[in-house]
Chains A and B, each alone.
Chain A
């Protein structure tokens, strides 16, 4: 395969997938600009290995890069999660999309980056426990326990959200 062919096939893949990767990245880190950086970094790393990845699973590798880069970045920043979900949240009355978005952002901010990634990969990207484990570099058992812990924490941290999302009776 010539360099031009490789460039064309990579560009085709990246153009098709980057919006989906961006959405995953936004959920992983909660910030659009930083999400763009995560996507850019992941695309570059996929491109470096394109000769090997193009016939495998470049999506999975890109997700893995984003998840691990985000966790590493979070640890470097040593950012503490101190948000209070009750402060200023619009809990009463019918919630619009903006309210739900605000509540979700605040609730996700209560999670550790690994818990947050677990939620995003399992419930947004609909990955299996095995694929989620591969992305995170942990065992499926860890994914299971992290999922349970994350859901428990979400419910505890954002009761308004839980209320909003109750199944209709």
Chain B
């Protein structure tokens, strides 16, 4: 078979293939996507800015209606997945509805929900399942475990990744919450000399690059939500308008006698989820920066890591009391990164 004949045969095969013009429909669909992203980001900004303002938390049994994020530029676009701002929470803080998460023990007993991730994720061995893309990457020491569709797992040796030294002299291993690119196809690590070490998951190849592109997630590596970081520090990745914050804001808790005050919290689409951290006697403790956002199961359901003695991935249907158990993680890890968005729900 000659290559030229192969070309002719391929052209002959599809010469009569046609389809209706879909350009207008594609543009309209794109407007809905853009609008959804803007609304998500705007709602997060509004809630975060208000939530970290000065003042003492006030539990209000008759909360006022939250503000509606507006975007007149795209107000003619509609879609079934438009975010609906929260209306009634468990409490309010400065007029913003606040929901209470299950505490770390209650999370262990949540019902399991369907997700692209397996219900149990094992980190202790060295699996070698082939995969084109990963949904999650768990770094532990100088290695990582990738979790792909269908429960595939792959152990990756990170010994070729160098430590990085900050200007203040602090040296660290550059595994980070954004190391898995949003398409799930690469691991990327900042390296000395402002270069990047890139691991191609499909082929197992390592390359070095001056930069890398992540078209599906072009936002800054350090999210800037207009947040007063002197009050609470954002951590983890921002995923479609959802992000997590550390302690520093006196959000209300379910019971001040039973739960840590100034809880860490998550902001998503105009709603705030405060993480209830139950006082324990050294067991079942939430870690500092307990709950980075992992991604979205669908257009309404965000997933967060629950980093604690027995780590979990937990889902929250934003603006409701609907929580679910996505995965139990068996084995310790330093940091995790996710490529989990609504399209993976299939």
Contact = CB atoms under 8 A, between A and B. Distances in A.
B19 A36 contact: yes
Contact of B2 (A19, A43, A46, A167): A167
Interface stretch (B8-16, B103-111, B221-229, B240-248): B8-16
A104 B13 contact: yes
B132 interface: yes
A101 B24 contact: no
A78 interface: yes
B22 A43 contact: yes
A154 B19 CA distance: 29
The interface size bin for chain B is 35 or more
Nearest to A15: B23
Given A27-B13, A101-B12, A161 B1 contact: yes
A139 B205 contact: yes
Contacts of B286: none
A81 interface: no
Contact of B150 (A3, A7, A44, A76): A76
A39 B215 CA distance: 18
Given A39-B22, A76-B346, A100-B12, A165 B30 contact: no
B25 interface: yes
A142 interface: yes
Contacts of A101: 12-13
A48 B33 contact: yes
Nearest to A19: B18
Contacts of A78: 150
Nearest to B10: A124
Contacts of B15: 23
A97 interface: yes
A157 to B, nearest CB: 11
A123 B6 CA distance: 7
A48 B14 contact: no
A11 B21 CA distance: 9
Nearest to A147: B3
A146 B73 CA distance: 47
A142 B207 CA distance: 13
B26 A44 contact: yes
Given A26-B17, A104-B10, A137-B185, A40 B26 contact: yes
Contacts of B57: none
Given A18-B21, A137-B185, A165-B9, A47 B200 contact: no
Contacts of A167: 2, 5
Contact of A142 (B24, B27, B149, B203): B203
Interface of A: 3, 7, 10-11, 13-15, 18-19, 22-23, 26-27, 32, 35-36, 39-40, 43-50, 61, 68, 71-72, 75-76, 78, 97, 100-101, 104-105, 114, 119-120, 123-124, 126, 137-139, 142, 151, 154-155, 161-162, 165-167
Given A7-B27, A26-B17, A124-B10, 17 more contacts: A14-B21, A14-B26, A18-B22, A22-B18, A35-B19, A39-B19, A39-B22, A44-B26, A44-B29, A68-B185, A72-B133, A100-B12, A119-B10, A123-B7, A137-B186, A138-B205, A166-B1
